[in-house]
Every structure is written in structure tokens, then in C-alpha cells.
């Protein structure tokens, strides 16, 4: 197992998996058109309908917010058009994984960003689907989201696992500069890599490519309710919140921490950062 900096990455094999450009382009176009429509209504000093209408100042206000969303999608689109936009690559010797999000391409190139794992250090790979219930915008509300994962059971030596865990923890706990809370690779307590699969081709294509080199195990699925934590013991609550923080859903962690512990926003945000940084199993460093 070898860790790589962005500036030291070897040439990647042709069989690679990247985040798709087209959905980001369509989202940017949709938000941009909606913003332009609002500005047009505002320029016309509003529009009227039977029984009501849209005042001009409301249209200008909505257009400003829609422009912000469009700019965020523009940044995502530009990030997906860069050479750093990749999640995994399969070679005959092993698996390359990019644990630094493609959205954080502005991080220094001398920081660790990816790992190469020989197939001999992978016991097996499998698909994993997780249904999550997370807090909604309004207090007491919730919604469900689905996460498609690939899990790889590792058999690497303890020092290598420690080094990987520390690299993931440093990336998750990084505080300097702007950081997008997108963490596609996590290392669990049972030495299993969990890869959040948002790349194309999809999970089944990856498993088909990996099957020539590693054992493909039966898929698993799980349902996790992050909204029903009050009945859990303190350790159970912390573990659930740590899972949510590790996935990058900082907003939900902040909401739940405020509800469970009465934290203010600043303390809840710091608590979320602590959970995410500690998720890479600190016990490994003492093993």
C-alpha cells in the first residue's frame, strides 16, 4: 500500500471512474435559467396573475439566491472538468483510490491525496447500499437519502493501515482555507474501506472490473435512522453522529447536536469537526 501526493501521482490506468460532467452542467444551466427568469421579472417590476402576482423586489431577491446556487454548480462543473476529477482506477496490479475530494482541488499538491492498494492486500470487495433518515430543514422533519457504497476488506499490515488512517484523519480534520465537506473514502474499525460511489461507471461496472483480481462478496444493505437518537445511550449517540459527520453531512450533525446536547451553533460545529477527525479510529495509532 502506497500513499501519493497530488504532484507525485503516477500515470493512471485507462480503467478509471470519474464524477460525471453532464449532471453538473445541466444543474448549472437550470439554476442559471431560473435566476435569469427572476431577474427578467424584477426588471419588469413584477408580473401579475389572476388572484395575485410576483412583486419586483421578490423576483430580484429570488434571482440573487438562484445565482448563488448557479455559481456553486459552476464551481462543481469546473472541478469535474479538471484532471483531478477521479475516484478510482483499476490496474492489473492493484486499486488506486482518491480520498481527497475532487472539489478540493485547490488544496496544496504536496498534501497526500490518494492511495494505491495491491490486490494481494484486498481480501474482497462488495456493494453496500445504505438508506438513511436525516433531519430536514424544519424542526422535527426528516427525509430519506440513499448512499451507494463499495466496501473493500483490507489485509494490509498494521503500520500501513495506521498510515492510511492518519492520512484520512488529516484530510478530514484540515481547517486551513475553504474546504468542501465531501469525504469519499473512509476506513472503518474492522479494516474495511468504504467508498462513497458517486462516480461513473457505476458500482456494478467497478465490481465487474475488480472481479478479475479480487473476490466479489455478496452485497449488503442497511437502514440507519439518524433522527431517532434520544433513546440511545451516550456512546450510541456519539457513534451515530460520528458516522454522519464522516459522510460530510455537517449540517445534520450540527442540528442533532443542538437538539441532543443544547449546544449553540459554534459549539455544535466544533463538535462535528471533532467527530469527523476522530472517525479514522484513533486506536489504530496505538496498535
Q: Is the pLDDT of residue 49 over 60?
A: no
Express each pLDDT in 140-174 by its tens digit: 666 777 889 999 999 888 889 989 988 888 887 77
pLDDT at site 285: 42
> Are 141 and 50 in a shared domain?
no
> Are 208 and 164 in a shared domain?
yes
Helix (H, G, I), strand (E, B), or coil: what is residue 215?
coil
Express each pLDDT in 54-76 by its tens digit: 677 788 889 999 999 999 999 99
pLDDT at site 241: 78
Express each pLDDT in 243-268 by its tens digit: 777 766 777 778 877 777 788 888 87
Predicted model pTM? 0.79
- Name the packing angle between helices 265-278 and 234-246 (round to 10°): 80
Helix (H, G, I), strand (E, B), or coil: what is residue 96?
strand
> Are 247 and 220 in a shared domain?
yes
Q: Which residue reads 478540493 in cell numbers?
A: 104
Range of the domain at 96: 2-20+83-286
CA distance 248 to 240: 13
Of residues 55 and 287, more confidently modeled? 55
Helix, strand, coil percentages for the chain (3-state, nearest 5) = 45, 25, 30
> Are 99 and 223 in a shared domain?
yes
Least confident segment among 76-85, 127-136, 158-167: 127-136
> Are 211 and 171 in a shared domain?
yes
- For the ranges 136-140, 171-175, 221-225, the maximum mean pLDDT occurs at 221-225
Nearest to 222 by CA among 277, 168, 148: 148
DSSP secondary-structure letter at 217?
P
What is the tally of structural domains in the chain?
2
Amino acid at each position: 500500500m502506497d500513499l501519493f501526493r497530488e504532484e507525485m501521482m503516477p500515470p493512471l490506468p485507462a480503467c478509471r471512474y470519474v464524477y460525471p460532467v453532464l449532471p453538473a452542467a445541466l444543474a448549472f444551466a437550470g439554476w442559471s435559467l431560473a435566476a435569469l427568469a427572476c431577474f427578467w421579472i424584477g426588471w419588469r417590476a413584477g408580473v401579475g396573475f389572476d388572484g395575485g402576482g410576483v412583486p419586483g423586489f421578490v423576483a430580484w431577491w429570488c434571482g440573487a439566491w438562484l445565482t448563488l446556487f448557479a455559481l456553486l454548480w459552476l464551481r462543481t462543473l469546473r472541478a469535474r472538468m479538471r484532471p483531478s476529477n477521479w475516484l478510482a482506477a483499476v490496474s492489473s496490479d492493484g486499486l488506486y483510490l482518491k480520498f481527497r475530494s475532487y472539489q478540493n482541488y485547490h488544496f496544496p499538491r504536496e498534501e497526500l491525496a490518494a492511495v494505491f492498494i495491491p490486490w494481494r492486500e484486498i481480501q474482497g470487495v462488495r456493494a453496500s447500499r445504505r438508506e438513511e433518515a436525516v433531519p430536514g430543514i424544519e424542526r422535527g422533519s426528516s427525509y430519506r437519502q440513499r448512499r451507494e457504497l463499495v466496501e473493500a476488506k483490507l489485509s494490509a499490515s498494521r503500520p500501513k493501515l495506521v498510515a492510511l488512517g492518519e492520512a484520512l484523519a488529516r484530510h478530514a480534520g484540515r481547517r486551513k482555507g475553504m474546504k468542501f465537506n465531501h469525504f469519499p473514502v473512509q476506513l472503518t474499525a474492522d479494516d474495511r474501506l468504504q467508498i462513497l460511489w458517486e462516480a461513473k461507471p457505476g458500482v456494478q461496472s467497478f465490481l465487474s472490473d475488480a472481479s478479475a483480481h479480487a473476490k466479489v462478496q455478496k452485497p449488503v444493505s442497511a437502514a440507519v435512522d439518524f433522527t431517532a437518537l434520544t433513546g440511545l445511550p451516550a456512546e450510541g449517540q456519539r457513534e451515530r453522529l460520528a458516522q454522519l459527520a464522516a459522510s460530510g453531512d455537517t449540517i445534520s450533525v450540527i442540528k442533532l447536536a443542538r437538539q441532543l446536547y443544547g449546544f449553540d451553533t459554534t459549539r455544535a460545529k466544533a463538535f462535528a469537526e471533532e467527530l469527523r477527525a476522530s472517525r479514522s479510529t484513533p486506536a489504530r495509532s496505538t496498535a
